[in-house]
Structure 1
């Protein structure tokens, strides 16, 4: 049952207020607000990727309404690492106030700076590394190295008058990481000795017994699969998973294959990782995707995005035969990632589509081609025993993950009344090491739909689900058959769009021009004219709104 909504009291001086506004009850939208003495610190600012019940939505953002009118009080945003569910919403925050400082490691800041460049935002950044101390207003920060499925991840210790908070970000305890950078348990032990008043640990694998396997265990499996593949190999992974891409590069090089990156985010992120030295590219192994088409099938590996079944990502378009790379018999497709909860149906739909096309699909269920980037129960128990925190607020997980993490805390001696299963918008106050729930805000989802942010409502999404998932557009036109001249129309009606009807004013002249050009090229029948209208409107909708609605053209010849 959701917690009842009630307003928190005015914040007293010397009291730290903690409000998770994303990442609780879901895998994504990670964002936590810390406030004391009129100043605000934000840790992470991520996105949630849409599921099937969010048709047409590109991204889902945290609801920043609690601080929207107080952005001048924000002293900085600490970014624990460079995954989209922790940095993806930063551009939308900085649209509101561009000079909010961003604090993070070298790779993390490089990834977000590249993303912000696309939004034409030049951020103010402060690069930090493990062991570094920084003071931001009333917040004394210390950064701690943690191991994750992306290099340069950091936990952050936050000390205020109210006590110490330790926020882990995403982490695990791989003892043989590919970059030799382990989670700094010595620093954790020192912080535990100094006293951790509130601990916010990663909960994603809290219900998984034992220890998360090492990244190194994946290398031999990828090597074997790529080595035995008779034709092309397509590996799908997160576009920021530097370690996995490194393993693919090494395996391809060992078997005389070249590698082409597919997908804008993959090309961008791996270019950044290589430039900064986090990705070691064997000489001569990389090739441009256009040149890759000229290589023999048994000499190429494509590294792509789309491992979560995202409809617009490369792998889904391959499965739907909408990509220039056409999957065929005996091609090998490797899904080198775990399933984010909620994406199962989309992923298996892609697997089925690729299998129908004749591909051999290798994924986590039938081969060890991925390990998680999150600590399992055994690792979390170690951390609890090292830190001995007074209070625990599990974060980053669905309800079952948060509950499992709470149970682990209690097993290690944390008093049950000092553990908190919260949800987005729960308000907790800490004073002199004592934590209590003092409010519950009513927060919602903020949908990004093309260029629209927050203009889509849940009612609009309901319409979209009913109207063939992506909406419905009908176009009525009367044309003169010989010239293609439009006599009546175009009259356009649509359902399932948030925009006003006037939005189609931009495409009507394009339809008129396309019909005239088609007639000049010899088109005479109404069916051919209808296809011209469908293509013209379809291209416009896809490029302007990133949507794929049902388009029904009606063309009558006069």
Structure 2
């Protein structure tokens, strides 16, 4: 894995986050120092059966562990911090630097994984500076859908590399959040920036993203028209949205009940850090709900993405131990489905409607706004930072391509713009930039407690099992006498219902029997593996010919 990075060059690359939404992880390397920025996860698409999370491949960083000086976090969303425990299990001595809310969320994760005591975790703010032998790191304040968001400026002897993190220019943020620091961004730009690595998520949106305060007006209008209970579902990390919903609920005289572990954690952290102003006497538990009038209650919960085990899903399907849908309930979805979740979100909405609730969701109700800037904000960032070179980050290929076109409109020459993939390395001097090789940066699957032990072959088998089913062939064979002593018997799971497919099963058994006999006849020496391969090939062809399906064939031979 030898990369062509010269001593007088600074390198920038992504370990995750390019060509995808999620598992953001970027790095700057100068000589013997590497600064890593973010370590996120990606939620699996529907075809990744049984997979809980997807993380980046940390192999390159692990091989250069002595060079990794810091892991610096831009903000506390899962696609930026979710992979930290897995990263630290590979590189346990790397110190982590994170803004206050992200640091609080990271502590919870590290405690869950049993590695909090061994981890060096530091809180940082906009005015902090991290100094290493050759690299200095400082920050500038941005706004997003979570408080305490920072952009990162990595100062090297070759030049400054800016990584924006997720951002939008919300000039009227809610709660105690300050506005983005345009002056500091402009100062970076006036002093000279070598490379801008910028958020491309909303590169397809041709305008400014609406302020979070705009959503507050919609929430106020919706709440004032509801007489029954309100069940408000949103991302637990969207403290700004929670702040607005709870503020409107309190103004309408409603008590607030919180359900979902991540939502409970968000409330605790938000109150401690001053982003949520919710008095103790406003918060009630499940037992108090039954004693309060319906118009004096708001239930705040997780599950806006249709997650099966989240509070809202369990309320919808009637399995929640403490809450059930009552006539007159209104459920407010204050989020848009992220890619891959639309089907599960619609299923929850259908269940809620069937149980008698009114459901408010979708863009037409103006109850959600993105945390990412649209094209106008991306252009504003480009104009403020004025980079010599540009790399589009945080997005799928089409988003990177559109963002690159915006950079060219903002006077970054086309030859200075780069659309990279995870593992591609961009090496730069003060006046030049070139591709300097590639290291493996494929997805790593987390399945239960297993990390990386599930590969594409296993996923393919799971997909086949889900779509085509399984056929097990059992036979007892005397390998010396070349005879079948018992069987072959077939067992079908997820392929055909055996009681109604007797003729097909009988024909398949005869086909397997003939295959075993022919294998012995045509070969002087026959191994168990040779028999299994012959049975699998023959039976697979036979079943496909009859059913146009290819179940997984598992021969189980008892040999004597």
* TM score, norm. by length of structure 1: 0.80
Confirm or deny that 1:222 pairs with 2:219: yes
- State the partner residue of 2:363: 365
- State the partner residue of 1:263: 260
Conservation of the 8 A alpha-carbon contact between 2:5 and 2:436? no
Conservation of the 8 A alpha-carbon contact between 1:253 and 1:282? no
- State the partner residue of 1:150: 146
User: Taking structure 1 as reference, are residues 459 and 302 closer, same or farther at Cα in structure 2, changes over 3 Å only?
Assistant: farther
Matches within 5 A, 1:108-187: 108-122=102-116, 123-178=119-174, 179-187=176-184
Matches within 5 A, 1:515-530: none
Structure with higher Rg: it is 2
- State the partner residue of 2:452: 454
SS in 2 for 1:181: coil
SS in 2 for 1:380: helix
User: Taking structure 1 as reference, are residues 494 and 220 closer, same or farther at Cα in structure 2, changes over 3 Å only?
Assistant: farther
- Tell me the C-alpha RMSD between the 2 structures: 2.4
Conservation of the 8 A alpha-carbon contact between 1:172 and 1:379? yes
Q: Report the CA distance between 1:436 and its aligned residue.
A: 1.5
- State the partner residue of 2:337: 339
Confirm or deny that 1:234 pairs with 2:231: yes
Equivalent pairs, count = 472
Distance 1:420 1:312 in 2: 41
Distance 1:355 1:249 in 2: 24
SS in 1 for 2:364: coil
- State the partner residue of 2:443: 445
SS in 2 for 1:318: helix
Confirm or deny that 1:253 pairs with 2:250: yes
Distance 1:137 1:288 in 2: 52
Confirm or deny that 1:432 pairs with 2:430: yes
Matches within 5 A, 1:62-101: 62-101=56-95
| CA-to-aligned-CA distance 1:208-244 (integer Å, 9 cap, x gap) | 1111111111112212222322322211111111111
Residue range with higher mean Cα deviation, 327-336 or 208-217: 327-336
Q: Report the CA distance between 1:495 and its aligned residue.
A: 9.4
Q: Report the CA distance between 1:62 and its aligned residue.
A: 0.9
Gaps of 5+ in 1: 1-6, 475-492, 497-558
- State the partner residue of 2:52: 58
Q: Report the CA distance between 1:293 and its aligned residue.
A: 4.3
Q: Report the CA distance between 1:155 and its aligned residue.
A: 0.5
SS in 2 for 1:193: helix
| CA-to-aligned-CA distance 1:430-481 (integer Å, 9 cap, x gap) | 1224221222334321111111111222232233334448x99x9xxxxxxx
Q: Report the CA distance between 1:395 and its aligned residue.
A: 0.6
Conservation of the 8 A alpha-carbon contact between 1:250 and 1:282? no
Distance 2:139 2:427 in 1: 23
Conservation of the 8 A alpha-carbon contact between 2:28 and 2:154? no
SS in 2 for 1:197: strand
Confirm or deny that 1:30 pairs with 2:24: yes
Q: Report the CA distance between 1:415 and its aligned residue.
A: 0.6
Conservation of the 8 A alpha-carbon contact between 1:75 and 1:137? no
Conservation of the 8 A alpha-carbon contact between 1:27 and 1:396? yes
SS in 2 for 1:417: helix
User: Taking structure 1 as reference, are residues 354 and 39 closer, same or farther at Cα in structure 2, changes over 3 Å only?
Assistant: same
Conservation of the 8 A alpha-carbon contact between 2:13 and 2:27? yes
User: Taking structure 1 as reference, are residues 388 and 147 closer, same or farther at Cα in structure 2, changes over 3 Å only?
Assistant: same
Distance 2:98 2:78 in 1: 14
- State the partner residue of 2:39: 45
SS in 2 for 1:349: helix
* TM score, norm. by length of structure 2: 0.80
